Chain A
Amino acid sequence: DVVMTQSPLSLPVILGQPASISCRSSHSLMHSDGNTYLSWLQQRPGQSPRRLIYEVSKRGSGVPDRFSGYGSGTDFTLRISRVEAEDVGVYYCIQDTHWPPTFGQGTKLEIK
């Protein structure tokens, strides 16, 4: 199985400051169809996961533009340009290029 490794696992951030989360995969996530199926999910406390970013850098419907994703191959990043209070929660990367789909361990973002 593809192992997804996130860092850091805990991310204290000052309101209004930027934040970045790294996700590294054990195998390249480039699919034979040319797409890279790497997504980022946000799970706020007590809520279901919500997809923020798909195919590395495409923002989901209704997702604020302060969230952005980039990367390629085995190295990916989720960036929040200015953290807001509503961004508190756990962030997961997930790959669906290789079977089975696998998740990162999660990064807990909190306000410092």
Chain B
Amino acid sequence: EVQLAESGGDLVQPGGSLRLSCAASGFTFSDHWLDWVRQAPGKGLEWVGRIKRKIDDYVTEYAASVRGRFTISRDDSKNSLYLQMNSLKIEDAAVYYCTDLGTAFWGQGTLVTVSS
């Protein structure tokens, strides 16, 4: 059974940093491009960024709203995906999902709250 389990969500002050993790199982993790998608409270879905596979040189892509502040990485030996979030803003508050938009895989999400 495919599972994606996000963790690391927390309350952080504006300007702070947070690192989210996503542990994967049930599929060949290294074969997949992986995405982070977020959902602000009561709002719709917003793509945050993507990391490609090793054969694609682990290329990363980011939404304009987070570029330069967020960094996506992966550790294929640990079947894990990461999202390093720096210089957090109020508007970054959301549930963050790890997913592979090319498949049906979605995690349950982890909540990031940005507030002073």
| Chain A residues within 8 Å of B, Cβ to Cβ | 39, 41, 43, 48-51, 54, 60-61, 90, 92, 94, 96, 99-106
Q: By the criterion CB–CB under 8 Å, are A103 and B104 in contact?
A: no
Given contacts A48-B108, A49-B106, A50-B106, contact A100 B101 (CB under 8 A): no
Chain B 99-116 interface mask (CB, 8 Å, partner A; 1/0)? 101111011110000000
Interface on B for A, CB 8 Å cutoff?
A: 35, 37, 44-47, 50, 61, 63, 97, 99, 101-104, 106-109
| Nearest-CB residue, chain B, relative to A62 | B104
Chain A nearest CB from B88 CB (Å) reads 21
In the complex, which of the residues A48, A54, A92 has the most CB atoms of chain B within 10 Å of its own CB atom? A48
Of the candidates B45, B50, B109, the one having the most CB atoms from chain A within 10 angstroms of its own CB is B45
Are B44's CB and A106's CB within 8 A? Answer: yes
Tell me the complex Cα distance, A99–B108, Å.
Answer: 25
Q: Smallest distance from the beta carbon of A91 to chain B beta carbons, Å?
A: 11
A54–B102 alpha-carbon span in the complex (Å): 9
Query: What residues on B are CB-neighbors of A61 within 8 Å?
Result: 104
Q: Is the beta-carbon distance between B101 and A96 smaller than 8 angstroms?
A: yes
| List of A residues within 8 angstroms of B106 by Cβ | 48-51
Q: How far is A41 from B37 in the complex, measured between Cα atoms in Å? A: 13
Known contacts: A49-B97, A51-B104. The answer to whether A101 contacts B109 by CB under 8 A is no
Q: Is the CB of B97 within 8 A of A60?
A: no
Closest CB-CB distance, A10 to chain B, in whole Å?
14
In contact, B46 and A103 (Cβ under 8 angstroms): yes
